């Protein structure tokens, strides 16, 4: 590895969730982009050094290049630093090559516009109803009373998860991806992950016996080159759908409410129609960037910008920096619902581009449309409670009041 430590930047420990809570993160990323866009993060607490890529162009280039960068040894910092991901070659996001393409194609059938049309309708209806119930009813928690009840039902419908099981899945999802505080330990994360896997292995068995129209049935009965998927492939992909489908969408909706409450000019623009929904959704996704980073392992020596990373190195791609890169976004720290173009990487890019991007966009659009239709004024009643994570940017509590 090249020696590309930069004086001053080493005070930012990107393995520590506190770094993202205690610092002015925008100022931090502006420094990385300007001073050391491909930065060698020093080893910490037994974890090896890793590369930090912060410019939009470089993040894009690595996402696109699945020949020289692999996801199969992890795609987030935690697993990359361990050196492996136990779901490797079983779960789409950590599988590469022809197997990735074949399983992605199989899953894509469940995400076609025809299959999704009733799901989209359901997202809009549910969101409108939940927001209407809260308007004028005083203080409530936007996370627990509202956001927690939307995406889980969308992905739950798509997967055919029984209604009564959905609440516990939201709880396990939060414990797995992003602890609500420093007190929740790694053991709880591990237990939650196992609960989800065990839960789906029961459901898969059921769907094999009597398949329906849902995505679990598609995985349980689908074939690649005439062969059924393995039990582990099916269960790990269910796990990835419930996690991907719920957490990031929830976080972008919560972030949307905070951003609108804090930017009254943009709230007015949304209300009076000078900001249309389509660009507004993209700006909310850029602004909130729920998946702060993803990562890869280099398979060869590769030049990124002015720096050479070596075969075997861990390379992390910071969406939360790329989406505020002044080289791509004019006035990036301005929340502008009419921003166009808006080439954000909130959903990644290239072969692993988010499978659920359409659904993610639908969730944000439903929240914006319902707020515009039903709400006159959004009032934040306290500080939003941040999740404790260096992967998911989001909130576990948001006290608000919505007035008609």
Residues that bind ligand HEM (CB under 6 A): 63, 71, 75, 92-93, 104, 155, 240-241, 244-245, 248-249, 252, 290-291, 294, 346-348, 352, 354-356, 359-360
Dihedral of alpha carbons 180, 185, 186, 192, sign: negative
Taking the least distance from each CB to ligand HEM, the nearer of 174 and 252 is 252
Residue 261 near residue 267, CB atoms below 8 Å = yes
Q: How far is the CB of 250 from ligand HEM (least distance, A)?
A: 9
Q: What phi-psi label fits residue 83: left (phi over 0), alpha (psi between -120 and 50 degrees) or beta?
A: left
Q: How far is the CB of 278 from ligand HEM (least distance, A)?
A: 15
Q: What phi-psi label fits residue 136: left (phi over 0), alpha (psi between -120 and 50 degrees) or beta?
A: left
CA torsion angle for 150, 152, 154, 159 (degrees, to 10)?
Answer: -170
Q: How far is the CB of 296 from ligand HEM (least distance, A)?
A: 8
Taking the least distance from each CB to ligand HEM, the nearer of 172 and 347 is 347
Taking the least distance from each CB to ligand HEM, the nearer of 155 and 170 is 155
Taking the least distance from each CB to ligand HEM, the nearer of 93 and 219 is 93
Taking the least distance from each CB to ligand HEM, the nearer of 9 and 345 is 345
Taking the least distance from each CB to ligand HEM, the nearer of 179 and 352 is 352
Q: How far is the CB of 137 from ligand HEM (least distance, A)?
A: 27
Taking the least distance from each CB to ligand HEM, the nearer of 4 and 50 is 50
Which backbone phi and psi does 223 adopt, to 5 degrees? -130, 155
Q: How far is the CB of 113 from ligand HEM (least distance, A)?
A: 14
* Alpha-helix runs per DSSP H in 289-404: 319-322, 357-374
Cα distances (Å, whole numbers) of residue 316 to 80, 294, 309, 335, 350: 9, 6, 12, 26, 16
Cis peptide before 200 (omega within 30 of 0): no
Q: How far is the CB of 227 from ligand HEM (least distance, A)?
A: 20
Q: How far is the CB of 91 from ligand HEM (least distance, A)?
A: 8
Q: How far is the CB of 136 from ligand HEM (least distance, A)?
A: 29
Taking the least distance from each CB to ligand HEM, the nearer of 253 and 266 is 253
Cross-sheet strand order for the sheet of 377-380: 140-141, 399-403, 377-380
Q: Burial of 105 by CB count in 10 Å (0-12 exposed, 13-18 middle, 19+ buried)?
A: exposed
Nearest residue (beta carbon) to ligand HEM: 356
**Packing angle of the helix pair 277-288, 357-374 (nearest 10 deg):** 110
Which backbone phi and psi does 72 adopt, to 5 degrees? -75, -10
């Amino acid at each position: 590895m090249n020696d590309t430590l930069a004086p001053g930047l080493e005070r930012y420990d990107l393995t520590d969730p506190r770094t993202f809570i205690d610092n002015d993160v925008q100022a931090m990323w502006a420094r990385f982009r300007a001073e050391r866009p491909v930065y060698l993060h020093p080893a910490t607490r037994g974890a090896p050094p890793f590369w930090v890529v912060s410019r939009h162009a470089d993040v894009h280039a690595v996402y696109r290049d699945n020949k020289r960068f692999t996801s199969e040894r992890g795609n987030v910092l935690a697993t990359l630093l361990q050196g492996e991901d136990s779901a490797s070659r079983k779960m789409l996001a950590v599988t590469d090559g022809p197997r990735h393409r074949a399983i992605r194609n199989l899953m894509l059938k469940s995400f076609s516009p025809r299959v999704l049309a009733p799901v989209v309708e359901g997202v809009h209806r549910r969101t409108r109803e939940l927001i209407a119930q809260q308007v004028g009813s005083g203080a409530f928690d936007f996370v627990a009373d509202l956001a927690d009840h939307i995406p889980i039902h969308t992905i739950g419908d798509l997967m055919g998860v029984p209604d009564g099981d959905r609440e516990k899945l939201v709880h396990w999802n939060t414990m797995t991806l992003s602890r609500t505080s420093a007190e929740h330990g790694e053991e709880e994360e591990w237990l939650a992950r196992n609960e989800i896997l065990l839960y789906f292995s029961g459901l898969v068995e059921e769907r094999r016996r009597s398949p329906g129209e849902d995505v679990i049935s598609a995985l349980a009965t689908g074939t690649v080159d005439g062969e059924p998927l393995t039990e582990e492939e099916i269960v790990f992909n269910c796990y990835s759908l419930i996690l991907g489908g719920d957490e990031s969408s929830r976080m972008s909706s919560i972030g949307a409410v905070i951003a609108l409450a804090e930017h009254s000019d943009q709230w007015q623009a949304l209300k009076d129609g000078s900001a249309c929904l389509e660009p507004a959704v993209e700006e909310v996704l850029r602004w909130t960037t729920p998946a702060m980073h993803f990562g890869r392992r280099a398979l060869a020596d590769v030049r990124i910008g002015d720096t050479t990373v070596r075969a075997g190195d861990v390379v992390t791609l910071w969406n939360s920096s790329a989406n505020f890169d002044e080289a791509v976004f004019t006035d990036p720290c301005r929340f502008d619902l009419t921003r166009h173009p808006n080439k954000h990487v909130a959903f990644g890019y290239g072969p692993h581009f988010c499978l659920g991007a359409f659904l993610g966009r639908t969730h944000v659009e439903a929240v914006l449309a319902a707020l515009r239709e039903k709400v006159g004024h959004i009032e934040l009643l306290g500080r939003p409670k941040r999740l404790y994570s260096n992967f998911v940017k989001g909130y576990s509590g948001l006290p608000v009041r919505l007035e008609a």
